[in-house]
Chain A
Amino acid sequence: MNGKVIKFSGFKIKQANVSIYATIILFTILFAIGSVSYDNFFTPQVFANLFIDNAYLIVVAVGETFAILTGGIDLSVGAMIAFVSMISADLLRKGVNPILVIGFVLLVGITFGTVQGFLIQKFKLHPWIVTLAGMFFARGSSYLISINSITIENPTFTNISSLRIPIGGGSHISVNVVVSLIVVGVAMYILKYTKFGRTIYAIGGNENSAMLMGLPVAKTKILVYTFSGFCSSLGGLLFTIYTLSGYGLHCNGMEMDAIAACVIGGVLLTGGIGSAIGPMFGVLTTGVIQSLIMFQGTLNSWWTKIAVGMLLFIFIALQRIIVIRNEKRKTVISESKVSS
């Protein structure tokens, strides 16, 4: 299994890769601005903190990517995190074994995602209305467990939460970060080296063609939502470990942050184009914007939302321009290299 190792020899400057590089460059520029403007910004720990604080979001964004690649969307992810945090906190305080809790919670995510995928595929319902209802359902269910927040005191969880893994240079990362990086690696492998992954791209490119080519379209469309459900529950676990609390209001509106991270990370909202690593950089980008604002000190945190929104607009407009140009290309006959 190749995991995180990226075979650079296999990549050329393809369209998808261009946008990843664009995101990385954007991120680098922002980080550089921070380093120049503020003391203590240009430290490995600040960089590592980006991962520590946003590990859960990275995992969720990866799951979201799978759904968006097929031309769909998953709006239930934020609510799922809250739901997962509530279930874990509640079960833990009732004394259930933490390993069982983790397993159960992941199972909930998988089931939830599969049900959504089934409704979307079988009855041809719009993904965003089904996952919107899913969002209502999950959030409401978290409140059903308890309206107030529940603090987690279970030793396993608290230990994992406080574990610091040194990575040299005097900085450290958390368990969450490792998990998130593994998820990104696994996702990259799936998308590049498995038939499931390639079918996802085919569906996003042209679902009708995919069907005519004999690909398992129905199965795949359901499975992407299963995967997204799994990622949101895993992300929920990471978030729960990070905050050590269960609360129905957790991650209110966070699905939009995940989607924004995907768009900034080069995932085309109409489907078919994108990667697993792009959204990771998208999350880092929004994270660094937040750090910049925090370091600045005087600006309120809502400036983050405006900056993210503006970035989102620019990327969406760019995506649209690319799509329009590609469509114009179809009617103009370009040069071909046909041998005689």
Chain B
Amino acid sequence: MSDSNIVLDMKGICKTFPGVIALSAVDFQLKKGEIHTLMGENGAGKSTLIKVLTGVYQIDDGKIILDGKEIRITSTGAAQKHGISTVYQEVNLCSNLTVAENIYIGREPMKRGAIDWDTINKNAKKLLEDRLNLRIDVKKLLSSYSVAIQQLVAIARAVDISRGILILDEPTSSLDSNEVKELFKAMRKLKDEGMSIVFVTHFLDQVYQISDRITVLRNGKFIGTYEAAKLSRMDLISKMVGKELNNIESISKKSRETSFKLIEGNFVKTLKLGKRGTIEPFDIDIKQGEILGFAGLLGSGRTETAKVIFGIDKSDHGTINIRGKEYSYIYPLKAIQEGFGFCPEDRKVEGIIGELSIRENIILALQSSMGIFKYLPMKKQQEISEKYVQLLKIVTPSIERRIDNLSGGNQQKVILARWLATNPQLLILDEPTRGIDVGAKSEIMKLVMKLASGGMTIIFISSELQEMVRCCDRVLILRDRVIIRELIGEEIQESAIMKTIADGGISYGQN
């Protein structure tokens, strides 16, 4: 394809935040009339690159060339002025306004000093029909339509404002398979009309259904741009994860040292437990004393599965059986009292209680399981807090310090301490080593193994496959919100996991 086809050329883009290099000399080229998918795991730099394009962040270094001319994108308004339109994951429209109004608000056609509603309604209808094949009543409120339709309306607005470049940031997260089909139909139509689309998603199948080319980022670096038709799934995953299939050594799985026997029989068992729109009904039989891993790409549903088990998300389907007692759903307090613990992934929102001290954060779950009247005496609180500060090597001059004064890694340790303090029998760890330096990572992994050998059952969710392979007895692999395969013992190898994710569990065993 000739160079004149390149509509957007980003060269050597660098972006740093305090303590973290988000983008390091990243290149990205967008051709006219193509659908170009951006892929990468957590920390890859995908969202930063998008935010740079949409004007939320400004680049520290590098060039952005639009239609042959170098430009600077200084704000979201400037991005729009350059004709770069974005549709975000959450439909950023106003559901209390009509469809037509959402498309035209802020740039309404006027007639004699007043908003010309007739023209707005007419134009909106035409726009949706012509460019997206969508025939709906544009005079109805946006809220009367499904999320899928609302998304299309958002796209219509973006398309109308755009001058050739459209960015779709994870538009399929809340759509079912039929709606995704319709979205892709619309995207193909736009592409045929010359629109250049940057598509961000983590659903592997969708990537191959819709993309012309794929760019992979990893750890802020540009890995490469590939023709979708010429890149196998295995290669794609390898590039995203950073491991070539051939270079992965098989790690011989020594049988884990345990100081007790793995107890058979009922510990925790789920029967078709699920939550509509979040996770497909699943059956898991958790054996006491095992380390069970949930593997999968970002967005595959690992956290959602754990949340339903813990009761943070109320299941609307199936039952969970804990030591013989059957529940159609549980809630966090009940889960804690049954000996569950959940160390969440998003510590800012679900974990730390910012203004409270380290001590208060550590004893919180333990205290809530004891109720209001059995107040832990201050001495005991201090004892427990000091114990875990030492055990986890939390860096702080005092346990009375506000937790939001700690570094991210130390905050994570405090949350871990909170759950360890409840002496759980089943501990769910969701990305426990994210944001922690290498030294601390291995400390925590060693601690996890020690706890397990002492009898604690652990559900371990991590995107670091090596960690999983090293410590798990069993691994469940998830993809696109479904559990697709189980690997046991010696079967657990990085190559096997990656292959399963790539093939959807179908061709495993053929190599």
Contacts and interface: CB of A to CB of B under 8 A. Distances in A.
Do any beta carbons of A and B sit within 8 angstroms of each other in the complex?
yes
Interface of A: 1-2, 10, 12, 14-15, 189, 192-195, 198-199, 201-202, 204-206, 208-210, 212-215, 272-273, 326, 329-340
A331 B114 CA distance: 37
Taking residues whose C-beta sits less than 8 angstroms from the other chain, chain B's interface range is 35 or more
Contacts of B148: 333, 336
Contacts of B350: none
A46 B179 CA distance: 58
Contact of B108 (A198, A210, A272): A198
Given A206-B96, A330-B147, A336-B148, 16 more contacts: A10-B117, A14-B140, A15-B141, A198-B115, A204-B96, A206-B92, A213-B157, A214-B80, A215-B105, A272-B94, A326-B143, A334-B146, A336-B146, A336-B149, A337-B136, A338-B134
Contact of A338 (B76, B88, B149, B276): B149
Interface in B354-394: none
Contact of B115 (A195, A212, A213, A214): A195
Q: Residue among A199, A214, A336 with the most chain B CB within 10 A? A: A336
12 contacts: A195-B106, A201-B94, A210-B94, A213-B105, A213-B157, A215-B105, A330-B147, A331-B277, A333-B146, A336-B148, A338-B136, A339-B134
B106 A214 contact: yes
B146 A202 contact: no
Nearest to A212: B92
A337 B152 CA distance: 12
9 pairs of A and B residues whose beta carbons are closest in the complex: A205-B94, A205-B96, A193-B114, A272-B96, A209-B92, A339-B135, A202-B94, A212-B92, A193-B115
B108 A273 contact: no
B353 interface: no
Contact of B97 (A201, A332, A337): A201
A210 B145 CA distance: 19
B133 A339 contact: yes
A47 to B, nearest CB: 31
Contacts of A1: 114
A189 B140 CA distance: 20
A336 B135 CA distance: 10
Interface in B133-174: 133-136, 139-141, 143, 145-149, 157
Contacts of A208: 92
Contact of A337 (B80, B101, B135): B135
Contact of A213 (B106, B147, B149): B106
A338 B96 contact: no
Contacts of A338: 133-136, 149, 182
B454 interface: no
B16 interface: no
B231 to A, nearest CB: 31
Interface string B224-242: 0000000000000000000
A195 B114 CA distance: 9
Interface in B92-143: 92-97, 101, 105-106, 108, 114-115, 117, 133-136, 139-141, 143
Given A208-B92, A209-B93, A273-B96, A198 B105 contact: yes
B77 interface: yes
Interface of B: 76-77, 80, 88, 92-97, 101, 105-106, 108, 114-115, 117, 133-136, 139-141, 143, 145-149, 157, 176, 179, 182, 276-277
Given A201-B97, A213-B106, A334 B114 contact: no
B105 to A, nearest CB: 6
Contacts of A209: 92-94
B276 A331 contact: yes
B82 to A, nearest CB: 13
A6 to B, nearest CB: 13
A194 B291 CA distance: 62
Contacts of B133: 338-340
B115 A194 contact: yes
Contacts of A333: 146-148, 176, 179, 277
A218 to B, nearest CB: 13
Contacts of B141: 14-15
The residue among A1, A198, A338 with the most chain B CB atoms within 10 A of its own CB is: A338
A112 B157 CA distance: 38
B76 A206 contact: no
A194 B114 contact: yes
Contacts of B80: 214
B76 A212 contact: yes
A212 B51 CA distance: 13
A206 B77 contact: no
B106 A215 contact: yes
Nearest to B92: A209
Contacts of A195: 106, 108, 115
A206 B176 CA distance: 25
Contacts of A210: 94
A199 B97 CA distance: 10
Contacts of B134: 338-339
B101 A198 contact: yes
A223 to B, nearest CB: 16
Contacts of A330: 147
B95 A205 contact: yes
A193 B133 CA distance: 29
Contacts of B96: 201, 204-206, 272-273
A339 B88 CA distance: 24
B219 to A, nearest CB: 29
A1 B114 CA distance: 8
Given A2-B114, A209-B94, A334 B145 contact: yes
A330 to B, nearest CB: 7
Contacts of B88: 212
Nearest to B94: A205
B97 A202 contact: yes
A300 to B, nearest CB: 41
Nearest to B115: A193
Nearest to B278: A331
Contacts of B139: 12
A214 B94 contact: no
A3 B208 CA distance: 56
Contacts of A2: 114
A213 B146 contact: no
Nearest to B108: A195
A65 B441 CA distance: 55
